[in-house]
Amino acid sequence: MIEFRKEFFADERDDDLKEIGRPTIRQDIEGHVTGRSPFFDDHLFEGLLHVRCVRSPHHHARIRRIDTTEAERSPGVVRILTGRDVPRNLNTLLSLLDFGIDDEPLLAESRVAYMGEPVAAVIATSEARARDGVARVRVEWEELPHVLDVEEAIRPGAPVVCEAYPTNRFIYHGRYDHQKLRFGDVEAALRGADHIVEGRYQMSPIEQAPIETCGAIAAPEENGRFVCYTSTQALFFSLGTAAKMLQTPSSRLHFIGGTVGGGFGGKVDSLHEPLAILAAMLTGRPCKYAFDREEEMQVGAPRGAERWYLTDGVMGDGRIVARAFRGYFDSGAYTRLSSYAIIKAVGHLPGPYTIPNVAADVYCVYTNRTPATAMRGFGITGVDFAIEAQMDKVADRVGMHPLELRILNAYRDGDMKAHRREAKGCALVECAQVVAEKAGIALSAAARAASSRTGGGGERGRLPAFTATDGKGRVEGSTSGSYARKSAPGPARAAPAPGRPPAAPPAPAAAAASPPARRPDAAGAPPPPPGAPAAGRAAGGGSMPPPAASPAPPPGPGTGDAARRGALRFSSLSGLRRR
């Protein structure tokens, strides 16, 4: 049962539109019910070859030798690929956005870091024959110690999971082994609170489970081009990744997709397109590489596990005055997208509440398990579980109804959020009121009268007079630099490449970057809006919040953060960027 509550925010809406707001029948629905919608696998090719991977049976192992001789003689096997066949066998997905170090091979050459990691690909005339071929590839393994728990992985002496990040932690901004959020003084506020409420929350990995598994079919097109039918959720992301790993101009690639049998975040990793295209390039025939269901569940990247520790300081009347987070994202063996999820999570904290003192330390941790990736609610679902279970404990501690507590602490228009931007367009109070009404809960007069549009701003809209910052988790002598990649003084060091060095020339920016210059006392202050007088952001300057939601000043000479200066670097998705 669905109802529209048009009485809310009616004055902000023009409901008199012609097509917008109508329950128009879906454009794609007739194709769906007749079975004619063209999913990636619904393109038939004469002479289609099938690709299946030889996978690691170990959590962590050195590859001593891969012997394909018997497999090559297996009936129907056309060719077997190993890492040596991949033109640039090292990538990280977000390198297209200049974020992170290349850390993951398409086919592992010297070492595997999770159970199921591919080390060879068998191309055969049928899927069954490809499976037979896979069974005949002999790999000599040398098992290595492994680590599966995020907090064990960051203890000294833990096995190194990902060579690009030897401390098993992603490096943020070349400075810290975690992403920080600092707003106000949490320690002081906790000391002054009437109650301290603590919690530890854990979310296990979850499979996206689209009914269509991930896959791609690639085929020679014409004039040296290759067509690729794909289930990707991000066509140009996948195209850019394939172009990079295959070291081929994007103009040689023709990607077709757009009709996808569910994704939920599990189809952004772009593992299938490069391998299917490589197989088509090396055999001259159409090739399909798709997960079977077992691979989809255990090799395909899941929503990663998250562990969160929360500490709240609460006053007797229910006002939350401090909230501290320590979070661990289990990225699995490689980065994929977990590094980004943490940025998104930190921008979301402390949830939809106005809390004057907030701090967070969030770690992207490598463990010897299937790399994690996006899923519906990426970066938010796990911590929202933590926050909202915590809110229930707080309500119990102070003896308030859970909805009363939420309305009391809800953020409102004009409030200052912990990421230092003004809250706008809030509607949490109204949602909570509607649920209370439907659940038959008698809210207090104050909660009934509350509104997202009133009561915010003013004192609540100011930046904290003092923000406690610290240098905990500082990474010294880290490598190369930009917003995305590492930036710090010290000798430049290319990303370590297991096995053969990448075919591409090293990025120019890896050569040098100026050390970050920053006044410690300004740590809590926002960067000035372009053209703003410097006086407006004196240390602790709470008087001048930046215009909310306006884009921050672009990085570049003269606008601030020295760590972001440097040579121009081209990213296929985001273009030229100064670093």
Partner 1 sequence: MALKPVALTLNGSERAAFTEDGENLLDFLRRRLGDLSPKFGCGQGACGACTVLLDGAPVLACLILAETAAGRRIETAAGLAGAALHPLQRAFVEGFAAQCGYCTPGMLMAAVALLRANPRPTREEVVAAIGGNLCRCTGYEPIIAAVLDAAGHMERRA
Partner 2 sequence: MARHRGRGFAAINYPIGMNLGGDPSQALVHANPDGKFTVALSSIDLGQGMKSVTRQIAAETLGVPVEDVWVDTADSDTGPHCMGSFASRGTHRVGNAVIAAAREARAVLLEAAAEELEVDAGDLVTDGRGNIHVRGAPARAITTMAAAQAAQFRQGRTVSGRGIFLIPLSPVDPETGEMTPVSCFAHAAMMVEVEVDDETGEVGVTDMQSAYEVGRALNPRLVGQQLTGGAWMGMSHALWETTEPFYPDRAHRPVDFSAYLMPGPGDLSSHHISILERPAPDGPYGAKGPGEMCANPVLPAVANAIWDAVGVRVDDLPITPEKVLRGLRAQGGARPRRRG
* Binding residues for partner 1 restricted to 253-272, rule: CB under 8 A: 260-264
Q: Which is nearer to partner 2, 110 or 381 (CB)?
A: 381
Which entry of partner 1, partner 2, none binds 115, CB below 5 to 8 A by partner kind?
Answer: partner 2
Residue 134 main-chain phi, psi, to 5 deg: -55, -40
Check if the beta carbon of residue 276 is closer than 8 Å to that of residue 348.
no
Using CB under 8 A, which of 167, 236, 466, 542 touches partner 2?
A: 236
DSSP 8-state assignment for residue 250:
G
Distances (CA, A) of 477 to 174, 363, 487, 514, 516: 9, 19, 9, 12, 12
Rounded Cα gap, residues 119 and 131, in angstroms: 15
Check if the beta carbon of residue 577 is closer than 8 Å to that of residue 568.
yes
Rounded Cα gap, residues 17 and 498, in angstroms: 58
Rounded Cα gap, residues 13 and 282, in angstroms: 57
Residue 190 main-chain phi, psi, to 5 deg: -65, -35
Q: At closest approach, how far in Å is the CB of 2 from partner 1?
A: 11
Residue burial 366-380, b: 16+ Cβ < 10 Å; e: rest: bbbbbbbbbbeebbb
Assigned token pair, 112 = 């595997």
Q: Which is nearer to partner 1, 75 or 489 (CB)?
A: 75
**Interaction of residue 466 with partner 1, rule CB under 8 A:** no
Which entry of partner 1, partner 2, none binds 451, CB below 5 to 8 A by partner kind?
Answer: none
Which entry of partner 2, partner 1, none binds 98, CB below 5 to 8 A by partner kind?
Answer: partner 2
Q: Which is nearer to partner 2, 77 or 345 (CB)?
A: 345
Which entry of partner 1, partner 2, none binds 149, CB below 5 to 8 A by partner kind?
Answer: partner 2
Looking at the DSSP assignment, which residues form a beta bridge with residue 314?
195, 320
Using CB under 8 A, which of 144, 148, 209, 343 touches partner 1?
A: 209
Q: Which is nearer to partner 1, 36 or 73 (CB)?
A: 36
Residue 112 main-chain phi, psi, to 5 deg: -115, 150
Q: Which helix (H) or strand (E) holds 570?
A: strand 568-571
Q: Which is nearer to partner 2, 288 or 577 (CB)?
A: 577
Number of residues that bind partner 2 (CB under 8 A): 155
**Interaction of residue 213 with partner 1, rule CB under 8 A:** yes
Which entry of partner 2, partner 1, none binds 33, CB below 5 to 8 A by partner kind?
Answer: partner 1
Q: Which is nearer to partner 1, 26 or 438 (CB)?
A: 26
**Interaction of residue 135 with partner 1, rule CB under 8 A:** no
**Interaction of residue 128 with partner 1, rule CB under 8 A:** yes
Residue 534 main-chain phi, psi, to 5 deg: -60, -30
Which entry of partner 2, partner 1, none binds 111, CB below 5 to 8 A by partner kind?
Answer: none
- Within 15-74, the residues that bind partner 2 by CB under 8 A are 17-24, 26-28, 59
Q: Which long-range contacts (CB under 8 A, 24 or more apart) does 341-345 make?
A: 341/304, 341/374, 341/378, 341/379, 342/170, 342/172, 342/179, 342/379, 343/179, 343/379, 344/378, 344/379, 344/380, 345/379, 345/380, 345/382, 345/383
- Within 62-121, the residues that bind partner 1 by CB under 8 A are 75
Using CB under 8 A, which of 212, 269, 330, 404 touches partner 1?
A: 212
- Within 82-141, the residues that bind partner 2 by CB under 8 A are 94, 96-99, 115
**Interaction of residue 30 with partner 1, rule CB under 8 A:** yes
- Within 440-459, the residues that bind partner 2 by CB under 8 A are 441, 452
Rounded Cα gap, residues 385 and 306, in angstroms: 10
x-or-dash string of contact with partner 1, 277-316, rule CB under 8 A = ---------------xx-----------------------
Q: Which residues bind partner 1 (CB under 8 A)?
A: 25-26, 28-37, 39, 41-42, 44, 48, 75, 126, 128, 209-213, 260-264, 292-293
